[in-house]
Amino acid sequence: MILQAEQKPIEEMRSTNILPQTSYWARVKYRQGLTPGGFQVKASSEVLSPDGGVAGSVEEDLLVLIQYVSDTQCFAYVPYGPKLEPVFENHGVFLEELSEVIRPHLPPNCAHIRYDLLWENQWASEEEHYDEAGNWLGPPPGHTQEFRLNFNTQNWNLRKSPGDLLPKNTFFLDLKQTEEQLLANMRPNTRYNVRRSLWRGIEVKAHGIEMLDTWYALYQETALRQGMVLHPKAYFEQVLAERNQPGVEVKLLMAEYAGQYLASMLLVLSGQRGVYLFGASSGARRELMPSYALQWEAIRLAKAHGCVEYDLFGCAPNLDPSHPLHGVHLYKKGFGGQLFHRMGCWDYPLDLERYELLKAQELQS
């Protein structure tokens, strides 16, 4: 396998649909205390092409974030990367070689590389991992996953991470459809709720950072109501501070009724993909269904912007009513998208002793 990686300035990274692999994301994470680094990765076409018969090579950018967990310990995090994907059989070999070619460019105290893989889960296409109702049952235990991914690698070094960071499961909407087709493909109750919210006078408008306090009040209310992790207001200041950069645009959408703000969301337009990044809502006037008008307007704005797909960014893996994201799953499923299961986080230890120590600390936290 031929694989090369050269360092590249963050500001020279190309626009992409993959939001966490943009220079915008790098700047936001820098504001949050991480150290971003850019690479240009070149891979032989025979590794990436299913038939192995195409000569030459393919290049793509890669964003790596260095995160310090103490004054002397850090790890490298690759959010939704690499974008290049080899044939199924070469997944592990590709990650191993990529890890080794970027290793010399990482800090000497870097314990491991964590890949938050955007590739479709290898078990998502296997019938035995679905129940009779068509619900995906998830991948097998971690050691079984590790055995498959490490097949044909030299070091047998890839480990399933203790947890996942970015969403593994999501719904994608095809925005190449007309608005009429998008409405027709919704579940009947979702389509009805969209129309009812508009009939009853819900208005959705785009705002800037001047509405941050209003957004954060709704976000706090939602987090407390649903038991979510609460980000500080500074987190959203950082997200909005970089909101209009080449290739990426962020819109703070607010749904209001008679001067009262009832729901809000952050819509991010990256390349040709719209992303529903964060949502919040009030407990008041819920009968007006403001979140449905809000989501529909976000879809329309993404389509008008030239996006060809819309990422609802996170849901449960199936319809299990005991899953904490069951309600979120039902809401997002109603808009008619295609459920997609990613591989999630995988680690490549660079210093096994340091890695095991950090892993133990992570499991205890």
pLDDT of residue 2: 74
**pLDDT given for residue 46 in this prediction:** 74
What pLDDT, on the 0 to 100 scale, is given for residue 19?
A: 96
Where do the structural domains in the chain lie, given as residue ranges? Answer: 3-166+342-364, 176-307
**Paired strand residues for 119:** none
Cα–Cα distance between 364 and 83 in angstroms, integer?
A: 31
Residue keyed to tokens 């889960």: 121
- Calpha distance 163→81 (Å, rounded): 17
CA nearest 173: which of 82, 276, 83?
276
The CATH T-level fold of domain 3-166+342-364 is: Aminopeptidase (3.40.630)
User: What's the topology of domain 176-307?
Assistant: Aminopeptidase (3.40.630)
- What is the distance, to the nearest Å, from the Cα of residue 266 to the centroid of all Cα atoms in its chain? 14
- How far is residue 20 from each of residues 78, 167, 178, 185, 307, measured CA to CA in Å? 9, 12, 28, 29, 17
Question: Do 3-166+342-364 and 176-307 have matching folds?
Answer: yes
In this prediction, residue 229 carries a pLDDT of 82
In this predicted structure, what is the pLDDT of residue 344? 96
Instruction: Report mean pLDDT in 10-residue bins for the chain, 365 residues.
Output: 88 95 95 95 79 74 96 95 91 95 96 97 93 90 95 95 94 98 98 96 93 95 86 92 80 95 96 96 93 98 97 94 92 97 98 94 85
Letter string b/e over residues 58-77, b meaning 16 or more CB atoms within 10 A of that residue's CB? eebbbbbbbbeeeeebbbbb
Residue 51, pLDDT score: 64
